[in-house]
Structure 1
Amino acid sequence: MKTNFKETKSLKKSILFFILILIFLVGCKSKKDLNISTPVFGKKEFTPLEMQTWYQKDYLEDSIPGISLDKWYRLNKKQPRAKSIIVAVIDTQIDINHEDLRGQLWTNNNEIPNNGIDDDHNGYIDDINGWNFKGTKAGDYVVWSNYEYVRIAREWGVLFKDKTESQINTKDLSKYKEYHRALTMLEKENKFYKNWLKSLNHNVAIYPLVKDTLRYFFPKEDYTYKQLDSLYKKYKINDKTYRQRRDDNDKDLGALIFYMMISLEVDEKTFKDLIDRQTYLDSVVTKNVNVGYNERLLIGDNPNILDKAYGNNNVSNKAGLESVQEHSTKVSGVIGANRENHLGIKGIVQNVKIMPLSIIPIGDEQDKDVAMAIYYAVDNGAKIINMSFGKEFSLHKEWVTEAFKYAEKHNVLLVHCAGNNGFDIDKNPFYPNDNGSENFDEVISNFINVGSISHKLDSTFVSDFSNYGKQNVDLFAPGDEIYSSSPDNAYKFDSGTSFSGPMVSGTAALVWLYYPNLTATEVKQIILDSGTTYNLNVIIPGTKDKKVPFSELSKSGKVLNVYNAMQLAEKISKKKKE
C-alpha cells in the first residue's frame, strides 16, 4: 500500500497513533524477538541532507528505511570495551591521504617503513598499511585484467578443447561443463565488445560532422536531448534548407541527430568523453576478453601456485587514474570515515582501523589474490574482512574456500556483497560464496552475503541491480544512492551492493567493540536475526514488473538494523557470562 504524507491532518494523527501503538507492542515483545514487522508508510520527499544520510536513519522515527544508526548513537550511554578493531577491506587501491580517513587506517607497527626488510617476518616487505596483490615488480600495479571466463577458457582448453562429453572422465565432467559455459560466455562477450568498439570507432570518425551539422540548427551548441528529439521527429518534413547545403559526403541528417541523442543519453557529451570511452573499450577488447593477454607477466608470479612472493606495498598508487582508488575509498568511508572531525561524512564506527588490501583490477579478481589477501588479513589481526567484489566464474574456488575456513578457525567474520547482476544467485553462480561444490550447504559459518535496497518504500525497494536468492543472500542493507568519501578529499553518491556489504561490516565492528566475547558465528546470527522486516511486495530485480514478498529474496527476509543488533548482542553477551 502506498501512502501520501501530504494527506489530511486527521490521517496523519491516525498514522502517528498507529505507530505509537506499534512501538509499544514492540517494546512488549519477548526478549528473544527484536524483529519489527513494519507497516509501509515511506517518506516521499527528501532534503539534500536526508539523501546524504538516509541510510543511517530509522524507519519508525524518520519514515526512512535506514539501518537505525543515528538512533543507536543518540540513545547509547555505554563505552566500548575494546579500544579499536581492525577491518580488512579487500578491494581496489585506496586514497590513504583522504581527510576523512586520516587516523582510521591500519598501521603495521611491527614493520620499519621503507627499509627494504621484512621486519616482522610475515613474508611481506615494508607492508606498512597493507599490501597490493596486483603490484608489479617495478613498483606499479596492474590496472587491466582478464575476466575469469577468459582464464578458464585458456587454462582448461588444454584439457577439453575439441573433446566430446563422452570422452571425459566422470571426475572431470563438472569442470568440462564449466569450461563450455565459460567458452560460451567468452564468444558472446568478445563479439559484443568488438561490435561496440567498431561502432564507437565510427562515432569518433563522424563526430566532427555531427557537431558541424548541429551547429547549423544550434549556433551556440546549447541543445538538449528533448530539443534534438523534437528535431529528429520533424527533420524529414523540414530539411529542404538543410539539403541545399549538404554535399555528397554528408550523412543522413536523422542519423546524425540520433547519434548525438544517444551520446547525450550515455553521458558522451564531449569529444573527450567519446575518446575516453573508445580507449576504455579498446582495453576491454585487447585485455579483458583477450585469451592471449596475461597480466601476471607484469607481476612476475605464477597464478596457479599459492605463495607470498609477489605484489608490493603500494596500496595507494593513483598514477593519474582516480577510478583506481575510488571504489575502496568509498567502501572504507562507509565503514570508518571519521565521525568526530566535522568533515564530509560519518562512518558507521569510529574506533576502527581499516586494513587496505588491493586485489581488484578493471576485470575480474583472481582467486589466488583473494585467498592470499584473506590469509594476510587473518594473520595480521583483522576481525572482519569486507569483500565488495564478485564474479560469475571461479578458476580456483577451492583455494578461496580453504582461506574462508582459515578465517573461520581464527574467529574472523567474512562479509561479501551479493553482486550487481540483477539475478537469482541460487540459480546463477556468483563467487566467492560459502557453498559446497554441488549444493547450497554452507561449508562455513562466518560468511554473510548482502543485497541492496533503496530508500523507496514501494515496489522498487530492492535495488534493480541487486542480486538476490532465498538460499544465497543472507539479508539486505542500503546500497542505492550512498554518499561517501571519494579520492582527493571529495564526496560522491554511488550505488551498488558494494556499499551494502560495508554497512554490515561496520555494524559487526560496532558489535564486537562493545561485546568482544562474541564469536564470529554469533555476530553473524545476531545481525541476521535483528534485522527489520518490511511487509511489502517488491519487483524482482532483472524483471519489469514481476513481484514477490520482500521476505522471499533473502534467507533472513530482513534489512540490517544497527540498533536492534546492538540490543540483541547485549542480551546474548550477558547470557554467555552467566
Structure 2
Amino acid sequence: MSFPTRSSFSHLALLGLLSLVTFNSHAQTAPAAEPTPAQIRRWQHLDLQADGVPGISADKAYRELLGSRVPTPVLVAVIDSGIDTAHVDLKPVLWRNPKEVAGNGLDDDQNGYADDLRGWSFLGGPDGRNIAVETLEQTRIYAQYRSQFEGKTRQAVPKADRAKFDLYEQAKASYEKGKKDEERRLARYTEALTDNTATFERLKQALGVSRLDSALVHEAATRQPAVPEAGPVYAFMRRAGLASDEDALKALNAAIKRSRNRVEMSFNPDYNPRAIVGDNLQDLRQSHYGNADIQGPDATHGTHCAGIIGGLRGNGLGADGVAGDMVRIMGVRSTPSGDERDKDVANAIRYAVDNGAQVISMSFGKEFSPDKAVVDEAMKYAAQKNVLLVHAAGNSGLDVDKTPEYPSARSLNGKLIPNLLTVGASSRLNTSALAASFSNYGKQTVDVFAPGVDIYSSTPANTYASLSGTSMAAPVVAGVAAVLKSYFPQLTAVQLKQIIEQSATPYHTQVLRPGAKDMVDFATLSKSSGIVNLYEAVKLADKMTMVK
C-alpha cells in the first residue's frame, strides 16, 4: 500500500488524521534562528548551518555548485497510486512516450501497452475501470488458506504443507488484529466527528460567526477576556496547519471514508476487485494487462511524491521539487489503497526500466510478500540495466533489520540488493524528534534518512498539502539521485547509491527511538548514520568523476 501518513493531536478528538509529529522543544536545537513560515513550507531544501534546519542543502547546492552547469534530462519513474497529469506544477515535467500516438487505441511503439503516453497502470481494465481499494496481503493469505487450515494444528498438517500453514497462522493473526484495530479507529473517528462538530458550533455561536478561521480563533484566544475553547481550538488548528473548521471536518470525513474502506474492503476476505483488471493472478509472468490511465481514482499520494521530485522550482507556485525541470516524470500505477500485489510491482519496475527510467521512486510497502521472488527478479533486471531504485523504509516504527517490510532490502538469498536505496524519515528539528516517530529504521538495511515530516507538495486539482511519511522521504532522495544523474550522467546506479550514502550528513543527536520510548544516537538508525545532503553529494560526485 502507499504508506499512510502518521499523526498525533492533543485533544479535540481528531485522532491520527493529518501528518503531524509532536516535537520535543526542550532537547538540543540547531544553532541558527528559527526559520520563517515561508522557509518551513520548503524546509527540506534548507541547510543546517545556514538556516538552522537539517534539510538536504539543495538551495546551497544550486546556489554554490550547480548554477553555471548545464543539466541533461533524467527520466524518473514514480511507481505509486497515480499522478494528476493536469497539475500546473507537474504538467511541464511529465514524460511523454515519443513513439506513441495519443488516443488512437493502438500500441504504436509495439511495447505491449497501447496508448501509454505518460506511463501505465497495472490496476486498470481494458474497459477503463480502475481498482481504487484492494485487500491487504494478510487478508489475501488468510482467504487463500482458511478452508485448508482453519481449525487445524501444525502437527495435524502434512509436513509438506507446514510452511504454508505457518504463513497462514502469521497472516491470520495480523489480519484479526488489524481488523479489530481498524474497527476501533473507525469508531473513534466517528465519535470525533460528532465531538468536533459540536465544539466548532459552540465557538461559532460564541463569536457570532458562521466560519472559524485560524486568525479569528487566535484573536479570540488572546484577547481579554479570552473566549472559552478558543485557545485549545487555535492550538490545534495551528499545529495541524488547518486554515478553518471546514478544513478540519473535511479531513475528518476523509479519514472516516478511508477507515470504512479498510474495514469493509481491505480487511474483507470475500472482497476481490481484481476482476476489473482481468488478468490471471496465478501467472506471475503475465505482463501485458492494465490500461493507460496513470491518474486513477485517487492520485493524492502519487501526485505528492511526484511534486517532491519534479515540482517546478522558482515559479512561485506551490512547492519546489528537489530536481525540478531537469527531470521527466513517468507515472506507473501499481499501488491502490490497500496492498499492492507483487506481480504488479515487478511489472511496474520492468515497465519503467524498459521505457528508459534511470531512477525509480517507490513509496509503498506491506507486511507480507508471498511472491517476493518475482520482485527480486525485477530488481535484479533493473540492476542489469543500471537503474537505481529508491524505496521508502515504512511507517511502522520498526527495526527492519529484525522485522522486514516489503519490498525488503535483502533478496530471498539474504544478500543486500545493490541498486536499492532504502530511506527513513527525519523531521525539521534537530532535537529528540529528529527521527520521525513513525519511521522504520535499521543499521544494516536502511541506507539513509531524509526529510519526511510535514513536506509540502502538489496534490490533485492544482492544490498543495503537507504530508508526512517515509513516502515523502523516498522521493526526496530520488530527486537527489536525479540531480546527480543529470549533472554526472556517467554515474552508475551503484555509484549513485554509494555517493548518496557516503555524502550524507552524520548526526549524533540523541533521539527517541521510533516506535519506542528509549533514547538512541541518531547515527545508529541507518547505514550512513545521517541525512541525505545534495550539496555534499555534488562535491563527492565531482571528485569521483574527476578521478576517472
| TM-score above 0.5 | yes
| Alignment match of 2:65 (pick from 69, 76, 79) | 76
TM superposition shift of 1:346: 2.1
Where in structure 2 are the equivalents of 1:338-417 lying within 5 Å? 338-339=312-313, 341-349=315-323, 350-417=325-392
Contact 2:448 2:529 in 1 (8 A): yes
What letter corresponds to residue 260 of structure 2 in structure 1? Answer: D
- Determine whether 1:314 maps to 2:293: yes
- SS of aligned partner of 1:76: helix
Structure 2 CA distance for aligned equivalents of residues 521 and 212 of structure 1? 54
Structure 1 CA distance for aligned equivalents of residues 151 and 205 of structure 2? 58
TM superposition shift of 1:138: 2.6
- SS of aligned partner of 1:61: helix
| Alignment match of 2:55 (pick from 58, 66, 74) | 66
TM superposition shift of 1:341: 3.4
TM superposition shift of 1:304: 2.7
Shift in alpha-carbon separation, 1:342–1:208, aligned structure 2, 3 A: closer
Is there any run of 5+ residues in structure 2 with no aligned partner, and where?
1-27, 222-226, 233-241
TM superposition shift of 1:45: 2.2
What letter corresponds to residue 322 of structure 2 in structure 1? Answer: I
**TM-score in terms of structure 2 length:** 0.82
Where in structure 2 are the equivalents of 1:105-144 lying within 5 Å? 105-144=94-133
TM superposition shift of 1:395: 2.3
Structure 2 CA distance for aligned equivalents of residues 527 and 72 of structure 1? 14
Where in structure 2 are the equivalents of 1:137-536 lying within 5 Å? 137-168=126-157, 173-197=162-186, 227=228, 278-306=256-284, 307-318=286-297, 324-339=298-313, 341-349=315-323, 350-437=325-412, 439=414, 441-442=415-416, 444-536=417-509
TM superposition shift of 1:272: 7.3
Task: Look up the match of 2:5.
Answer: none
TM superposition shift of 1:456: 0.6
Shift in alpha-carbon separation, 1:344–1:217, aligned structure 2, 3 A: closer
Task: Look up the match of 2:544.
Answer: 572
TM superposition shift of 1:491: 2.1
Structure 1 CA distance for aligned equivalents of residues 450 and 199 of structure 2? 45
- SS of aligned partner of 2:373: helix
**TM-score in terms of structure 1 length:** 0.78
- SS of aligned partner of 1:103: helix
Contact 1:81 1:515 in 2 (8 A): no
Structure 2 CA distance for aligned equivalents of residues 61 and 423 of structure 1? 33
Structure 2 CA distance for aligned equivalents of residues 462 and 428 of structure 1? 18
Contact 1:214 1:221 in 2 (8 A): no
Structure 2 CA distance for aligned equivalents of residues 274 and 523 of structure 1? 41
Contact 2:368 2:406 in 1 (8 A): yes
Percent sequence identity is 41
What letter corresponds to residue 345 of structure 1 in structure 2? Answer: A
TM superposition shift of 1:534: 1.4
Structure 1 CA distance for aligned equivalents of residues 127 and 293 of structure 2? 11
Is the deviation greater in 521-530 or in 184-193?
A: 184-193
Instruction: Give RMSD over aligned pairs.
Output: 3.2
Shift in alpha-carbon separation, 1:479–1:207, aligned structure 2, 3 A: closer
Cα deviation, 1:16-63, whole Å, max 9, x if unaligned, reads xxxxxxxxxxxxxxxxxxxxxxx9634462211110122111222222
TM superposition shift of 1:342: 3.8
TM superposition shift of 1:274: 6.7
Structure 2 CA distance for aligned equivalents of residues 549 and 40 of structure 1? 15
Shift in alpha-carbon separation, 1:413–1:272, aligned structure 2, 3 A: closer
Contact 2:31 2:49 in 1 (8 A): no
What letter corresponds to residue 68 of structure 1 in structure 2? Answer: S
Shift in alpha-carbon separation, 1:213–1:50, aligned structure 2, 3 A: closer
Cα deviation, 1:467-494, whole Å, max 9, x if unaligned, reads 1111221110111111112222222211
Structure 2 CA distance for aligned equivalents of residues 110 and 390 of structure 1? 32
Is the deviation greater in 70-79 or in 49-58?
A: 70-79
Shift in alpha-carbon separation, 1:214–1:330, aligned structure 2, 3 A: closer
Structure 2 CA distance for aligned equivalents of residues 337 and 127 of structure 1? 22
What letter corresponds to residue 336 of structure 1 in structure 2? Answer: G
TM superposition shift of 1:283: 2.4
Structure 2 CA distance for aligned equivalents of residues 135 and 69 of structure 1? 37
Contact 2:81 2:296 in 1 (8 A): no
TM superposition shift of 1:459: 0.9
Shift in alpha-carbon separation, 1:119–1:209, aligned structure 2, 3 A: closer
Contact 2:197 2:249 in 1 (8 A): no
Contact 1:454 1:460 in 2 (8 A): yes
Task: Look up the match of 2:46.
Answer: 57
Structure 1 CA distance for aligned equivalents of residues 192 and 30 of structure 2? 47
- SS of aligned partner of 2:75: strand
Is the deviation greater in 276-285 or in 294-303?
A: 276-285
Structure 1 CA distance for aligned equivalents of residues 200 and 357 of structure 2? 58
- SS of aligned partner of 2:349: helix
Structure 2 CA distance for aligned equivalents of residues 295 and 282 of structure 1? 16
Find the structure with the greater CA-based Rg. Answer: 1
Cα deviation, 1:516-569, whole Å, max 9, x if unaligned, reads 22211111011101110112211101123x101111111111110111111111
Structure 2 CA distance for aligned equivalents of residues 211 and 402 of structure 1? 54
Structure 2 CA distance for aligned equivalents of residues 353 and 212 of structure 1? 44
Is there any run of 5+ residues in structure 1 with no aligned partner, and where?
1-38, 232-263, 319-323
Aligned length: 495
TM superposition shift of 1:503: 1.3
Contact 1:55 1:478 in 2 (8 A): yes
Task: Look up the match of 1:24.
Answer: none
TM superposition shift of 1:116: 0.9
Structure 1 CA distance for aligned equivalents of residues 204 and 522 of structure 2? 53
Structure 1 CA distance for aligned equivalents of residues 204 and 292 of structure 2? 55
Shift in alpha-carbon separation, 1:445–1:81, aligned structure 2, 3 A: farther
Is the deviation greater in 330-339 or in 211-220?
A: 211-220
- Determine whether 1:90 maps to 2:79: yes
- SS of aligned partner of 2:466: strand
TM superposition shift of 1:300: 1.4
TM superposition shift of 1:166: 2.9
TM superposition shift of 1:214: 6.5
TM superposition shift of 1:377: 0.3
Structure 2 CA distance for aligned equivalents of residues 436 and 86 of structure 1? 26
Structure 1 CA distance for aligned equivalents of residues 419 and 95 of structure 2? 23
Structure 2 CA distance for aligned equivalents of residues 451 and 101 of structure 1? 25
